[in-house]
Each structure stands twice: as C-alpha cells, then as structure tokens.
Amino acid sequence: MIDTPGHVEFSSEVGAALSVTDNALVVIDCVEGVCLQTQRVFNQLNNFDVQPCVMINKLDRAILELQLDEEGLYRALKRIVDTLSEKLGDSPMQKVVFGSGLHRWGFTLDTWAALYAAKFGVSREKMVEKLWGDNYFNVKTKKWTTSGVDDQGNPLTRAFCQFVLSPFYKIISAIINKDSTVVTKALAALNITLSKEDSELQGKPLLKAMLCTGFPLAAALLEVTVVHLRAPATLKKRLYATPLADSEDDIRIQGIRKCDPQGPLMIYIAKMVRSPTDPSKFYSFGRIYSGTLRAGGESVRVLFREPASGNVIDSIQVISRAHVLIGRYAETVDECPCGNLVALEGIEESLGVPYAWTLTDTTDATPLTMTPPDTFITPHPLLYAAIEVKDPDNLPHLRAAIQRLCKTHPGSVLLCPYEEDGAPVLGVAGETHLEICVKKLRELMVWSESVVEFTVRCLRVTYGETMSAESSTICLAKSANKHNRLYGTGMPMSQDLVSEILAGKISPSISSSQMARYLGRNHGWDLNEAKRIWAFGPHGSFGNCLIENGFGLYGLKEIKDSVCAAFHQLTQEGILCGEPMQGVKFTLVDATLHADAIRRSPTEIVPTAKKLFSASFLAGTPRLLAPVYRVEVLCPADMVEKVLAALSNERRGGLLIQSESRFDGSVRVVSCHLPVSQSFGLAAELRANTGGMALTQCVLSHWEIITGDPLDPSTEAGKICADLRRRKGMQGDIPPFTALVDKL
C-alpha cells in the first residue's frame, strides 16, 4: 500500500502512485463530504482504470461533536454515497467502510448483515440490500416495506437507522451516562468480549475499546479489499501508448499479463524517493511487472521516451542494491519477483528525468507508459517563489538542495532557469506545496551538514499567452542564409477544444484518421487539415497545436523535427513574457527550401520557424491569461458572513458561485471563483477570522483573459508583461511585428 497526500496540490503524487497500483482506498471525511480534491482523485482513478474501495471516516465526530440524530447522519452518508455512485458508475455499497480511523473501528453493511441474516431468515446478500436506502421494517407486522409510514400513517424507522446506527447510539449514550446495565447487555448482544483492563475503563476510553474490539477497522478494510476488489492477477495490466500493447504474442506482454516471475524482466519506475535513513540519497521507486529482479551487479537497459519527440533514450546501467520500503525502513533484498514494489540504487543518476523509466533485460523492448494519455502526472507550477540565502557563499549548497528536491517532485517542483536578484526561483503547485517544499529543503540542509539560512518570498503566479483573433496576414520568415522561406499563420482555438486536448481526448497517441473524424464531427474541422497535425505543445500539454498544410512540398518531412522543436520552444516560453502559450493553432501553409540538406539544417530552420510563429502570433490579437481558482470553504453556518467578507472584499474580488447547506443547516459550503494572484494568504485569513473553524480548498478551475492589450504598457496586461520580462531578465520590450516578419 502506498500512502499519498490528501491535499489537492499533491495530485501528482496520486498519479505517480496510481501508475504502479491495481486498486485504491479513498478516505472521505463524513463531515466535509466529497470535496474538490476527492472529486479529482476519482477522476484520476477512472483515467487509470483503478478500482477503489471507500472509507467514510470520522463518524465519531458526526455523532459526538455535531450531535446528528440517526436520520440526519444517514442523510449525510447518503449524500456521499450518491456522489460515489455518480463517479464510479455503479452501486458502491459493498465497497464502503464506515468508521473512525483515529479510534481504529469500522464496519461494513456486510458486518451487520451477518448478525441479522439468521434472525430474519434471509441471505446475507439480501440483508445487505435491506440495510441501505428506503427500506423499513415494521416491528408490529414483522414485514419489510419501502414506505416510510405504516397503514395508520405512523412514521417508521429506516432500516439503516434501526439496525445499524441505533445500537451505536445506545452504546454511546449508555457509556456517557455510565449505565453499566445497558453496556453489559450490548456487549452480550454483539458478542464482544473485553479484556480485564478494558472492562475497568470509563467514558470515551471504554467506548473506544468496545468499538475497536467489536468492530476492528483492519478486519473491515481487509474484507472489502479481498472480497470486493479485483485481484491483481485478473487485471489487464495498463500499457497505454505502448507499441507492444496489442501484441499479445510478445513474450514481454505475456509476462506482464501473467505476472510471470520466469518471464523477461520489465520494471516501471514511477518516481524518485528519498531514503528513509539518509535523505541525501535517492532510490528509483517502481513496480516489477514481469520477471525476477536480482540485485548486486545485474545489468539492465534503462529506457525513456521523450515526450516532445517520441525518441527513446537507451542506456545500460547496473543495479547495485534493491530495497523493499516498509514504513520508515528500507529492507535490502537480493532477489525480488514480479508484483512487488521496489526501491533501486545505482540508476538514479542515469537519466535527467526522474520518472517514467522502463528497466528491462531484453534487447528489443520499448518503454512502458503506465499512465493513460488523458492524464498528466506533472502539472505546470502555478506559484513561483524566490529562495534567498543570507550568506551568498552558501548559494551553491542551496542550489544543490533544490535540485535534489526537484527529483522527488517531478514536474510539480521546478527550478527556474532565471534568478530574482541573484536568488533561485522555485516553481510549485501552491502555497501549501511551497510550505512542504521549504520544510524538506531545511531537512536536506541538516542531513548534508550545511546549515544554510534562507528566507522565502512569494513572487507571482504563472500566466498564459493566447490569441483572440486570427493572424491578419500570412507571415513570412527567411532563414539566416536566405535560402529557405517559411509561410504561416496563427489563430485561436475554441475553449471547448482546448479543454478536450488538456483532458487527453485528443492527443498524439490517437491515430490521424480517428483524430480527423473526431475534430470534423465535434469541432467542424476540415478533415484534410485535421489529418495533418504535426504536434501538440508544449510537450503535449497546454492545448496548442501545429498543422502542416503545405501539400506535397519538397523537403517538408526533412524539416519536420526542426519545425516541431521551434513550436515547442515558443509555446513553452511565449514571445510576450516567456509564459506558456495556450489555445493557439499555428499552421505552416507554404515553404521554399534549398535543395541541399546542409543549407536547411536545424541551425537554419529552428530559429526561422520560431520567428515565423512569433510573427504569426503578433499578427493576430495577442492576449494574456490569468489562472482562476475554484475555492470551497467549509464552515459553521454562523461563520458564513465572515467567510463571504474575506472572499469578496475589494482586495480579493471573489465571484460567488453557490452556498450549500449541510447537516440541517449547521454547516455551510461556500464556493466561489478567485484569481490565483489574489489567493495568497486566504487560508490563513479565513482561519483567523473564524477561529480556525473554516476549511479551505482551492483547485485550478479555468483561465481568464486579462483586460487590455499586452503590447500597450499602460494597460494591466502590459504592466504584467513588463514586470515578468524584467524578472526573467528578458532584454528590451516585446519585439514588434515588423521586426519579426520578412518581406519578399
């Protein structure tokens, strides 16, 4: 089992874990309900085809603190279960555990069905169905009904409340009121035998001991895991975007499908992890899908597929040692069969990318891609902060520590290539993520015996560059040697199409014919144009695409890699202020190329294509994009006014979406849209205003166009561009269109 953080800013950790697991356990707070992060986790589970079981946690809080009655607690639980049904697409009740993780007790409906099945003379499966939903048992007539009232119009008690919650409430009431007679009867009725020490307890300690003994959480979780989740041996292993995926006769595929310890060695590395005993040391953490690993000198091929070009990097490395991570300890093993999670030494420095490697002992294997094409494990950082050292002599130690930190957080932590007044700039997913990264940086400093004092200064959020209108003319760019000419245009794509690209519905892994049919049917694209998509970028994300419309032109295939490289470079760092582009379609409409390949080498074509795309972008209507959060705040009903005052004040300017009531109005969930740039310190402010009773979650919702022309330094967008160019050390103003476009 792999434990992952529950905060929304650590979704990349969830994605890395899902790439090497078959099933999942999702823990949901019964007070908070299914929040934004939980919804994102379920989306990831669906994308990875990982089947979850669910624990609805903190029932003790709902009963003792919120003091919900039985029907009120049922409605709160049903709201969560209904959401699970929508997300999972089936009835999840057999995979749900109710309980308290803190006090280590829990039960399933099957737990109670086993107690009542014999009494009612029905099977356990039938009893499970009766214990949930609109099912009522009439004590007088001894009959089941789906009506909430009897023949005389008297209300009936719901079966879940009558047979599951009522015993709990009676036990809790008896223990709090010190009614030993009722407690003794309850112990006998539930077949619970307490130890001598536990029998002498009083109050909450006795309640905890009684529930832990009668309803152990470990037994309930083991039950749903073993009985109701798919066994790993029966699962079809994920091989997304892998050339071997459809080759059932391939010995490597057979080894993975059968989890064969005698098969060829196939290991997928999900990420780098720090050693539990020495944080300065890193392990390559992954899963053995086929074969048996023998550490201590075994040579393996290390394969990695570059996202941009699709080229495979191949090297031979030696695994010096292998470990199995057990909690805080790493147990060294000499041999490990397939199916296990392992941490390897010896290959962590072999590649620059710290995740998505494939290790094999065969000569003709291709890299495994265990993440679906519609899932990005490594989101782009949203927040940038400067790490300033007090003593400049310690700057090399700080940079080394940051580089080690980036290894364990691939993609979500980024060391920027530029500095802010000599201080390294760190890109992270959000404020909470930044706090954790700073804590880990200090730990790395302690372990490296280089005590470096530093401070953290939040600088800015990430922005995006886009177009709001098509290029006003076909642009021309000539190569430096004047022997090559490229013609092209740029235009914005619809937001729906951009969302689908970001969601992976349209990706390089889809065949050109499938993509053309989809774009033609859903977005009105010309089929010939849709078939000629060269690339999505930068590196498959952010919803930009490159199209080649120069039908049959001489030499286009030879310059494709160079043009795509320029496309990725520009969409990664836009012409306005070096921020990623979003929602832009570049089209190469014509080209005149020199017959000699040396005269159209990458050194000539890449800068020419980049200049062409820059001119095409400026020939339209360039605009700047700002990220916007969807904020959800859970708070007591009497704190709503303070929450709304903090969200919608003049400084933050949040836009209220809805305010939802829960638990009969005692708890409210306030939702709003808030610019990420105005969210700094929001959680701390709400905690201070509400006495710590407000729980805040922020998830990236969408991107909004900033008002004003970024080419005009007097507008808001122009000021932001000027500030970003200054911070990044970009010389001068934004190049004018006339400086980029060439004339015939």
The stretches of 224-334 forming alpha helices (DSSP H) are 251-258
Domain match, 408 and 356 both:
no
When pLDDT is cut at 50, 70 and 90, the band that residue 352 belongs to is: low
* CATH number, residue 72: 3.90.1430.10
- Does pTM surpass 0.85? no
Task: Look at residues 445, 461, 477 and tell me which one is the last residue of a structural domain.
Answer: 461
331 located within any domain: yes
Domain match, 628 and 617 both:
no
716 located within any domain: no
> Is residue 501 a contact partner of residue 546, using CB atoms and an 8 Å limit?
no
Residue 616 scores a pLDDT above 90: yes
371 located within any domain: no
pLDDT at 152: 85
Domain match, 488 and 578 both:
yes
Determine the structural domain holding residue 397 and report its residue range: 383-461
* CATH number, residue 258: 2.40.30.10
Distance CA(312)–CA(302), nearest Å, equals 10
pLDDT at 255: 82
Domain match, 473 and 539 both:
yes
Domain match, 50 and 168 both:
yes
Task: Single out the residue of 7, 2, 3, 17 nearest to residue 410, CA to CA.
Answer: 17
Q: Which two tokens stand for residue 271?
A: 């990420």
Distance CA(162)–CA(156), nearest Å, equals 9
715 located within any domain: no
3-state helix, strand, coil in the chain (%, to 5): 40, 25, 35
Domain match, 325 and 437 both:
no
Distance CA(627)–CA(678), nearest Å, equals 10
5 located within any domain: no
15 located within any domain: no
9 located within any domain: no
Higher pLDDT, 451 or 216: 216
Please compute the mean of the pLDDT values over residues 351-369 and round it to a whole number: 77
Please compute the mean of the pLDDT values over residues 98-118 and round it to a whole number: 90
Residue 283 scores a pLDDT above 70: yes
Distance CA(545)–CA(506), nearest Å, equals 11
> Is residue 301 a contact partner of residue 266, using CB atoms and an 8 Å limit?
no
* CATH number, residue 651: 3.30.70.240
Residue 133 scores a pLDDT above 50: yes
> Is residue 584 a contact partner of residue 488, using CB atoms and an 8 Å limit?
no
Domain match, 30 and 169 both:
yes
Domain match, 441 and 472 both:
no
Residue 485 scores a pLDDT above 80: yes
pLDDT in tens, 500-525: 877 667 766 677 788 888 888 888 88
> Is residue 133 a contact partner of residue 139, using CB atoms and an 8 Å limit?
no
When pLDDT is cut at 50, 70 and 90, the band that residue 162 belongs to is: very high
Distance set, CA 347 to CA 144, 283, 299, 303, 371 (Å): 64, 8, 10, 11, 22
> Is residue 450 a contact partner of residue 386, using CB atoms and an 8 Å limit?
no
Domain match, 267 and 287 both:
yes
Please compute the mean of the pLDDT values over residues 162-168 and round it to a whole number: 90
* CATH number, residue 423: 3.30.70.870
pLDDT at 376: 42
Mean of pLDDT over the chain: 84
Using a pLDDT cut of 90, give the percent of the chain over it: 23
* CATH number, residue 584: 3.30.230.10
Domain match, 393 and 510 both:
no
When pLDDT is cut at 50, 70 and 90, the band that residue 604 belongs to is: very high
Residue 408 scores a pLDDT above 80: no
Q: Which two tokens stand for residue 686?
A: 């709400």
For residues 409, 414, 415, 420, the Cα torsion angle rounded to the nearest 10 degrees is -140
Task: Look at residues 360, 375, 394 and tell me which one is the last residue of a structural domain.
Answer: 360
**DSSP 3-state assignment of 65?**
coil
Domain match, 426 and 475 both:
no
Please compute the mean of the pLDDT values over residues 551-566 and round it to a whole number: 83
Task: Look at residues 175, 198, 228 and tell me which one is the last residue of a structural domain.
Answer: 228
pLDDT in tens, 289-314: 889 998 877 788 888 876 655 677 78
Distance CA(85)–CA(34), nearest Å, equals 12
Domain match, 174 and 158 both:
yes
pLDDT at 576: 94
Q: Which residues contact 465 (CB under 8 A, 6 or more apart)?
A: 574, 575, 576, 577, 579, 580, 581, 582, 584, 617, 622, 623, 624, 625, 710
How many domains in the chain?
5
495 located within any domain: yes
